[in-house]
Chains A and B, each alone.
Chain A
Amino acid sequence: MNRKIFSMISVLFIALFLFAACAKTSTAETAPAEEEEPLAEAPAESEKQVTITWWHISTKDPALSDWQKMADDYMAAHPNVNIEITVLENEAFKTKLTTVLQSGEVPDIFQSWGGGTLKEQIDAGLLKDITADLDADGGAWRNTFAPGALAVFSSDGKNYGVPWDMGMVGWWYNKDLFAQAGITATPTTWSEFLECVQKLKDAGITPISLGEGDTWTGMHIWSYLATRIGGEAAFTAAADRTGSFTDPAFVQAGVELKKLIDMQPFQDGYLGATHDEMQATFGNGKAAMELSGQWAPSVQKANSADLEGVKNLGMFNFPAVEGGAGDITDVIGGGNGFAIGKDAEPEAIDFVKYLTSQQNQTIIAASGSGIPVVKGAESGLTDPNLLLVQQSFAQAKYFQLYYDQILPSAMGGIINDAVQKLFAGTATPEEVAAEIEAGAQDLIK
């Protein structure tokens, strides 16, 4: 009898295990379908009632409440529209989005960084072409945006999303240290820049803080040089494979970078330093410059010993390279936007238009959540450093999205690792270019 009970219990256990396993997968499969179902049915039942699904990643205030208030205001003005907001943390968002995209259930409005990932989504037929909406009324909506920022969310001349924040990388510098070295004007050409580095060195000041342990930090110097030398044409050609990353512009970028590295302008141990350590060195006044994005003012402050950071902070555009095709006003940067899902109703597009109106962009600017991309909204910017970024950005004739965002994601890692070898002196500019090209041949198809 005992044995029978035992075997019955074990069978029961096994059954429980199996059921538990089945139950999990089945709920996971049905759950998203259930969530999305009312969406599909709603328009059929009554033409006026519309539900908009919106995923964003602003998990913290002020942006979190700002977005909520904008949605509430819109719903109050349009009683037939119901906006369902899903707030996700950055990494969780990427994972969840990948999952729902594979099932074909696309949110109507969702966070996007544009570039290569957006292109993959476009190619998979998951996004809606909103070119006509932007061009309606003689391009009324289109003309409100800074063109460079809007282009990040387009492919082959068609738009699939709009930006709401856009920043850029530039040289942040410590005005006091520049004055100490007797530098009166910020450099506008590469040779002036190198002279400036020499002057700082002569004055016993470390010219540049760099966290090359994180590799992408130094890659920006290389990619800026390539943009200044080759301009838009060189990169576009290399990226669409009509050109190559071994083209003269990219090799020359390495040669120019090597000139800078040979002057030993960086702080001790920069090869192993992280991005935070780079910001700390700059924030503590131990180095005169760093090449960094719109986050630099706040991050250098947070990493400095006294939490005050550099007292007299300034920013200048990456200098032009003599004889290069690129202009000094061209910028490298990136930012945030909203992509429009393939099943989005006209109401969803209207809501995005509302989100990126001058009034709402001013709110985003005023709370420091982002650098506005809509003309007139910069009046909301109170931080003088962010205003600097915004002004540089607004003047840009060509906007180069970060290499690791515009190219397939794996390319970012390959470029970072290859350029690091220049800093360590283990590869020549030609070898670096060849390594990047080898990766591109493999990854860009």
Chain B
Amino acid sequence: MQLSQFVHDKHHVQKEGKKDRRFQNRLVIILFLLPALVLFLLFVIYPIFRSVYYSMYDWKGFGPAVDYVGLGNYKKIFGDEVFIKSIKNVLLIIILSLGLQLPMALILAVLVGRDLPGRSFFRTVFFLPYVLSEVNTGIMWMLLYNADPERGFFNAILVSLGLQPVAWLADMNVVIYAVFITLTWKYFGFHMLLYLTGLQNIPREIEEAARIDGANAFQNFFHITLPLLGSTIKTSVYMSVLGSIQQFVLIWIMTRGGPVNASETMATYMYRFGFVRFQLGYGAAVAIIMFLICMIFSLFYQALTRKPDYLSGL
């Protein structure tokens, strides 16, 4: 009985041929993908379309959206100087991040990735801020930035040096830089870790060969380390830019985008309208604009940086 069953099965499979097998394979793949796909569609794709829908209404969140305004919200957003200010702030954070934060992270990574004594200690210390929660970081830095020299660490130092105290978070011209220092302190450890991983993938032999050929440390760094870190730097720049566009928690905790919008970013602007003033339709429109900016940047960035990856050829 069992034998005949087996023979029958085998015969059956052979008879149906490859076509059936391929179909079954695909079915299994689709079935396995389905749960994840359903969740993805439900919680990622659907809300995006829903937001597009709400962004065309003047909607306060009570009941169904009925007050259709078309592209009115978008027009209002681009006519609002506070939103323009928030874009300028985001651009400033991006420029400072790429110009200061990432090079610093790279230099530190090269230092602690090599033969520095006690390098694992420094590696941990530099990575520590990234582990801390953003809310804690924000509150801690607010205390450091306190305008009262008897309570704020930085002003205490300035006063002890005989200088004037600075109202770090209260001065509309200073606040964005003060916030940037906190952002750098918080995130450079993450980029350092990325670079460390990248450095580990560079085979020692190449550097040794260069050294034997007479290259000094600087030549080694600029002609070997840097080009071979290409794909890592690409990733790090990408994450830094997207992170800057979406920056919210630290800024909201430390300044609420203030004083008078001086440290407003697109994300705090969205929150202010969406969840402080409950103009959800308007907030949804801001979210859509942010989404488009991020998406367009991603597409262009991917296209522009499609350069040969040196390491993959090795």
Contact = CB atoms under 8 A, between A and B. Distances in A.
B272 A413 contact: yes
Nearest to B275: A413
B167 interface: yes
Interface in B162-193: 165, 167-172, 175
Contacts, number: 91
A272 B255 contact: yes
Interface string B121-154: 0000000000000000000001000111001000
B204 interface: no
Contacts of A268: 147-148, 165, 167, 170
Given A213-B259, A267-B148, A410 B168 contact: no
Interface stretch (A9-17, A126-134, A168-176, A357-365): A9-17
Contacts of B168: 269, 272
A63 interface: no
Contacts of B142: 274
Contacts of B272: 413, 417
Interface stretch (A197-205, A340-348, A420-428): A420-428
Interface in B23-57: 24, 27-28, 31-32, 34-35, 38
A272 B279 contact: no
A313 to B, nearest CB: 21
A270 B170 contact: yes
B74 interface: no
A23 B176 CA distance: 48
A409 interface: yes
A270 B28 CA distance: 64
Given A3-B28, A10-B28, A410-B278, A269 B167 contact: yes
A7 B256 contact: no
A271 B258 contact: yes
B259 A7 contact: no
A212 interface: yes
A110 B28 CA distance: 54
Nearest to B142: A274
A46 to B, nearest CB: 38
A362 B271 CA distance: 42
A17 B142 CA distance: 45
Interface in A138-186: none
Contact of A273 (B28, B62, B147): B147
A353 interface: no
Nearest to A426: B260
Which one of A1, A413, A414 has the highest number of Cβ atoms from chain B below 10 Å of its Cβ?
A: A413
Contact of A213 (B60, B148, B170, B277): B170
Contacts of B31: 7, 10-11, 14
Contact of B259 (A11, A281, A420): A420
B258 A215 contact: yes
A108 interface: no
Contacts of B34: 14
B276 interface: yes
Interface string A367-411: 000000000000000000000000000000000000000000110
Given A269-B148, A271-B258, A272-B175, A410 B32 contact: no
A272 B147 contact: yes
B9 interface: yes
A19 interface: no
A269 B35 contact: no
Question: Interface extent on B, as a size class?
Answer: 20 to 34
Nearest to B39: A17
Contacts of A286: 148
B169 A272 contact: yes
B35 A271 contact: no
Given A213-B169, A267-B147, A424 B28 contact: no
A272 B179 CA distance: 12
A258 to B, nearest CB: 15
Interface string A1-34: 1010011001101100100000000000000000
Contacts of B277: 409-410, 413-414
B24 A3 contact: yes
A212 B60 CA distance: 27
A14 B35 contact: yes
Given A1-B9, A269-B146, A273-B170, A420 B258 contact: yes
B28 A269 contact: no
A208 B27 CA distance: 73
Given A11-B31, A269-B146, A420 B38 contact: no
A135 B170 CA distance: 53
A7 B28 contact: yes
Nearest to A422: B260
Contacts of B62: 120
Contacts of B38: 17
Contacts of A413: 272, 276-277
A150 B90 CA distance: 49
Contact of B167 (A120, A272, A426): A272
A277 interface: yes
B67 to A, nearest CB: 10
Contact of B170 (A3, A6, A214, A272): A272
A100 to B, nearest CB: 15
Interface in B273-293: 276-279
B108 to A, nearest CB: 30
B256 A213 contact: yes
Interface of A: 1, 3, 6-7, 10-11, 13-14, 17, 120, 212-215, 267-274, 277, 280-281, 286, 409-410, 413-414, 417, 420-421, 423-424, 426
Closest 6 CB pairs of A and B: A269-B147, A272-B170, A272-B169, A269-B167, A271-B170, A269-B170
30 contacts: A3-B28, A10-B32, A17-B38, A120-B62, A212-B259, A213-B256, A213-B258, A267-B147, A268-B147, A268-B167, A269-B146, A269-B148, A269-B167, A269-B168, A269-B169, A269-B170, A271-B258, A272-B168, A272-B255, A273-B170, A274-B142, A277-B146, A281-B148, A410-B277, A410-B278, A414-B277, A417-B272, A420-B260, A421-B260, A424-B260
Given A213-B256, A271-B170, 14 more contacts: A6-B28, A7-B31, A10-B28, A120-B62, A268-B167, A269-B147, A269-B148, A269-B169, A271-B172, A272-B147, A273-B170, A286-B148, A414-B277, A417-B260
Interface of B: 9, 24, 27-28, 31-32, 34-35, 38, 60, 62, 142, 146-148, 151, 165, 167-172, 175, 255-256, 258-260, 272, 276-279
